[in-house]
Amino acid sequence: MRLIILIDIGSTFTKVSAVDISAPALLANTKAPTTPDDVSVGLDAALSSLKETLEAQGVSRTEIENCRKLACSSAAGGLRMVAVGLVADLTAKAAKLAALGAGARVLKTYSFQLTDADKAEIEELQPDIILLAGGTDGGNQSNIIHNAKVLGSMNLGIPVVIAGNRSVSREAASYLSKSCSTYIADNVMPEIGKLQVEPARNVIRQVFMEKIIYAKGLAKASRLIEGIFMPTPAAVLRTGVLLSKGAGSVRGWGDLMIVDVGGATTDVHSIGSGNPTKPGAVVRGLPEPFSKRTVEGDLGVRVSAVPLVEVIGPHVLGERLNMETTVVQQKAQKMANNPEVLPETSEGKRFDQALGYYAAHIAVGRHVGHLKEIYTPSGVLWVQEGKDLSNVQTVIGTGGVFISNSEPLAMLRGVSQDSTTPFELRPENPTYYLDRDYLMAPIGLLAEEYPEAALSVLANSLEVLS
């Protein structure tokens, strides 16, 4: 046996899993409430519970204590970022895609030259890290220099990753070095229409490991684990890529989508090219990354229940559940005030289920590409913006909202194409899977060193829904 313990320190729960990578197999998993003031307390409780389970299976205490323990985390608010670029639809969007792919929660994206109002807003937002882009390589120089000077004058004392015009990256860093720690990555958009987000993602991960986990107090857990290696969403995205492409002798699953409906946000990950499937469709806009993540801060089924209900429409939920609008709003407020409480009554479970359905439905609608019908002198032209995910055959639901509900399929069906979304390029007829064992994030920790074992464990764990 070759035991590794994988840990996901979330904002609400800390989840731990034990895997044998020599078999390979999932041996046990458990969870405990995350303790925000000192995450090591909740982590210790989860590890103790796991240890008891493993010892009951015959695993020795020495082997448990000496095995590797790897972790990812979205505790303490996750990785909070601000992205700055030149043009809203180009370098600013590229910077946002890089930040999201690195597992960050993007608080705000700024384009063109930062103003005094922007400066004040960034100071109020207090991000953990700033991604500064702008200009293609050899292109516009003045914008990124101006923004570097503004950021340098703010004395934020936080890391800034510079991923813009390489001709002036070091000059931009010189204006920031007195007030911030700076990192230089390759340009997120070196040429017009060319997206290059991986180098910036890798640098953001490096900064997370070196700086952010200490700023958030997560280093208190270091006595129990080998290290926190990435934000949880980045680990999920890495797992998605592994599952899609496969490893060694283990075949991949092809294009897929992962939907994570949480208490505060809903994350959607898609792995695939997203090329047009409609004959004659013309793609417009910035190229989409093969592995893409979006996060919706107003779509959550606990902390964000009130804004979610507002997005859905209280009357829509009321009609669906045969409830008065005021009752719907009261229930949402109660959930937001008590996010740790799970529903016990049939009415409460139905309410949860409806919120999960709409969170998935709306989040996927924002993630996928869209078709537009344009009339020209030579006839109708179809224009595609974003990724065409209509042929995606695999959709995986993960997170407590799906796992704790008795009808996860009813919620996941909100992902697919229906008569109300004719121009949204959603999966049309996918097979749905449930991440019953909470492995989508932990497996990402294994993906680099033990890809075949990681893939085997995950594939055997996912539950097909029908």
Task: Tell me what pLDDT residue 339 has.
Answer: 76
Task: Tell me what pLDDT residue 217 has.
Answer: 62
Task: Tell me what pLDDT residue 20 has.
Answer: 94
DSSP codes joined into one string, 124-178 = HH--SEEEE--S-TTS--HHHHHHHHHHHTS-----EEE-S-GGGHHHHHHTTTT
Label residue 456 by pLDDT band (50, 70, 90).
Answer: very high
The SS3 assignment for 23 reads coil
Is the model's pLDDT at 343 over the cut of 90? no
79-212 adopts what CATH topology? Rossmann fold (3.40.50)
Q: Is residue 67 within 8 Å of 4, Cβ to Cβ?
A: yes
Output the six-digit token pair for 244. 């899609």
Contacts for 384 with CB less than 8 Å, ≥ 6 apart = 276, 278, 281, 282, 283, 284, 369, 370, 371, 372, 425
**HEC states along 236-261?**
HHHHHHHHHHEECCEECCCCEEEEEE
Task: Tell me what pLDDT residue 221 has.
Answer: 67
Q: How far apart are CA 27 and CA 61, in angstroms?
A: 15
6-15, 188-197, 209-218: least confident range: 209-218
Greater confidence (378 vs 373) lies with 373
Query: What residue segments make up the domains of the chain, in order of their start?
Result: 3-76+216-225, 79-212, 236-465
Residue type, position 191, single letter: E
Task: Tell me what pLDDT residue 42 has.
Answer: 84
Is the model's pLDDT at 170 over the cut of 90? yes
Task: Tell me what pLDDT residue 206 has.
Answer: 80
207-221, 320-334, 449-463: least confident range: 207-221
Best CA proximity match to 323, nearest among 300, 350, 341? 350
Is the model's pLDDT at 359 over the cut of 90? yes
103-107, 214-218, 357-361: least confident range: 214-218
Is the model's pLDDT at 216 over the cut of 60? no
Q: How far apart are CA 405 and CA 385, in angstroms?
A: 34
Q: Is residue 462 within 8 Å of 403, Cβ to Cβ?
A: no
Is the model's pLDDT at 139 over the cut of 80? yes
pLDDT tens for each residue of 46-105:
989 999 999 999 988 888 888 888 888 776 666 788 999 888 777 788 888 887 777 777
39-43, 126-130, 456-460: least confident range: 39-43
% pLDDT > 90, the chain: 43
Distance of CA 411 to the CA centre of its chain: 19
What's the mean pLDDT in 362-375? 90
Is the model's pLDDT at 215 over the cut of 60? no
The residue assigned the tokens 């448990």 is 64
Output the six-digit token pair for 418. 């229906």
Greater confidence (236 vs 219) lies with 236
Rg (CA), the chain: 22
Angle at alpha carbon of residue 369, lines to 367 and 375, rounded to 5°: 150
Output the six-digit token pair for 401. 């909202």
pLDDT tens for each residue of 386-417:
999 999 999 999 988 898 888 899 999 999 98
Q: Is residue 211 within 8 Å of 186, Cβ to Cβ?
A: no
Task: Tell me what pLDDT residue 186 has.
Answer: 92
Output the six-digit token pair for 204. 């953001």
Which CATH number is correct for 3-76+216-225, 3.30.420.300, 3.40.50.10800, 3.30.70.20, 3.20.20.70? 3.30.420.300
Is the model's pLDDT at 336 over the cut of 70? yes
Distances (CA, A) of 424 to 97, 223, 295, 363: 20, 48, 18, 12
Is the model's pLDDT at 130 over the cut of 70? yes
Output the six-digit token pair for 5. 């313990």
Is the model's pLDDT at 106 over the cut of 70? yes
Q: How far apart are CA 174 and CA 162, in angstroms?
A: 11
Output the six-digit token pair for 354. 């409806």
Task: Tell me what pLDDT residue 121 has.
Answer: 93
Most confident of 1-15, 85-99, 203-217, 428-442: 428-442
Output the six-digit token pair for 430. 């996918």
Q: Is residue 12 within 8 Å of 339, Cβ to Cβ?
A: yes
pLDDT tens for each residue of 293-334:
888 878 888 888 888 999 999 999 999 999 999 998 998 898
Q: How far apart are CA 372 and CA 422, in angstroms?
A: 10
Q: How far apart are CA 16 and CA 439, in angstroms?
A: 9
Peptide bond into 24 cis (omega under 30): yes
Task: Tell me what pLDDT residue 214 has.
Answer: 65
% pLDDT > 70, the chain: 95
Task: Tell me what pLDDT residue 77 has.
Answer: 61
Q: In angstroms, how far is the first alpha carbon of the chain from the final one?
A: 34
Residue type, position 420, single letter: T
Task: Tell me what pLDDT residue 450 has.
Answer: 92
Q: Is residue 412 within 8 Å of 259, Cβ to Cβ?
A: yes
Is the model's pLDDT at 197 over the cut of 80? yes
Distance of CA 199 to the CA centre of its chain: 18
Q: How far apart are CA 164 and CA 355, in angstroms?
A: 40
Label residue 212 by pLDDT band (50, 70, 90).
Answer: low
